[in-house]
C-alpha cells in the first residue's frame, strides 16, 4: 500500500466507517512455503476496549483453512468507492490522469473459534445483515436444526486482532483548489462510484482549503 501523507485520513472514525460500509473484504494469506490464498467474505468489525477485532468464517478443509492453520498471518482488504480522474479536468492538464479510491488494509493473526464461539458469531452475523430483524427466517435462531447441523459442520469461524491498520484515501488532496473543485463537478455528473467519490471530496474541501 502506498504510504503517502497527502492521502492519509486523520479521523479514525472515517476509516472504521469505510470498513463497516464495505464489509465484503478480500481475505488473503499464504502457506509457509509462500503459496497464496485469497477470497472475499463478509467480516464483522468489533471494538473491544483498545482492540479492533475482525470476525468471519470460511469453509472447512479448503485451501484457506489449511493455509491459516499452517500460517495464521492474514490480511483483510476493504475496498471503498473508486473512479477514474481525467487530467483534462486539472488547471494544468499536461500531466497524466489518475484514479481516486479508498482502501483499508487490516492485518493480524487468525485465531479459530470453538463451537460455542462459532454459534454466537453466526447469531451476530445473521442478525447484523438482516438489519437487526430477529424474526427473519434467515436469522440463526430461526433456521432448521437439520440445516444448522449441516452448515456448522462445514465452516470454521475465526477472529483477527488487528495489529496493523493502514489506509489510502486518495481523493485529490494534493491538487490545487480549482482542480479539486473541477474534479468534484465532473464526478457529480456520474453515477455510482464517481458520485460517491465526489461526495467524499466535498466532505474534505473545507479542511483542505
| Domain boundaries along the sequence of the chain | 5-86+98-174
- From 122, 162, 182, 138, select the one nearest 16 (Cα to Cα): 162
CA distance 47 to 29: 23
- From 87, 83, 77, 78, select the one nearest 101 (Cα to Cα): 83
Beta-strand pair 24-30/98-112: unpaired
**What's the rounded mean pLDDT across residues 151-169?**
97
Per the listing, cell 430461526 goes with 142
166 near 3, Cβ under 8 Å? yes
105 near 166, Cβ under 8 Å? yes
CA distance 22 to 89: 29
- From 7, 9, 107, select the one nearest 52 (Cα to Cα): 107
- From 180, 9, 10, 24, select the one nearest 102 (Cα to Cα): 9
CA distance 203 to 209: 12
Record the pTM.
0.93
pLDDT band at 92 (very low <50, low <70, confident <90, very high): confident
**What's the rounded mean pLDDT across residues 99-120?**
97
pLDDT band at 91 (very low <50, low <70, confident <90, very high): very high
- From 208, 209, 186, select the one nearest 7 (Cα to Cα): 208
**What's the rounded mean pLDDT across residues 180-198?**
96
Q: For the domain bounded by 5-86+98-174, which CATH number is listed?
A: 2.30.110.10
Amino acid at each position: 500500500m502506498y504510504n503517502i501523507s497527502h492521502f492519509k485520513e486523520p479521523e479514525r472514525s472515517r476509516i472504521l466507517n469505510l470498513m463497516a460500509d464495505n464489509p465484503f473484504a478480500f481475505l488473503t494469506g499464504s502457506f509457509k512455503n509462500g503459496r497464496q490464498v485469497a477470497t472475499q467474505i463478509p467480516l464483522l468489525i468489533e471494538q473491544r476496549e483498545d482492540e479492533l477485532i475482525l470476525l468471519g468464517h470460511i469453509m472447512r478443509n479448503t485451501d484457506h483453512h489449511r493455509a491459516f492453520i499452517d500460517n495464521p498471518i492474514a490480511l483483510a482488504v476493504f475496498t471503498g468507492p473508486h473512479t477514474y480522474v481525467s487530467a483534462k479536468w486539472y488547471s494544468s492538464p499536461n500531466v497524466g490522469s489518475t484514479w481516486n479510491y479508498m482502501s483499508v488494509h487490516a492485518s493480524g493473526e487468525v485465531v479459530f473459534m470453538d463451537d460455542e464461539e462459532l454459534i454466537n458469531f453466526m447469531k451476530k452475523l445473521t442478525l447484523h445483515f438482516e438489519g437487526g430483524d430477529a424474526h427473519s427466517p434467515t436469522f440463526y435462531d430461526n433456521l432448521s436444526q437439520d440445516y444448522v447441523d449441516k452448515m456448522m459442520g462445514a465452516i470454521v469461524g475465526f477472529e483477527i486482532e488487528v495489529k496493523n491498520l493502514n489506509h489510502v484515501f486518495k481523493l485529490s488532496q494534493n491538487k490545487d483548489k480549482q482542480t479539486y473543485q473541477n474534479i468534484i463537478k465532473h464526478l457529480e455528473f456520474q453515477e455510482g462510484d464517481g458520485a460517491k467519490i465526489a461526495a467524499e471530496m466535498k466532505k474534505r474541501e473545507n479542511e483542505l482549503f
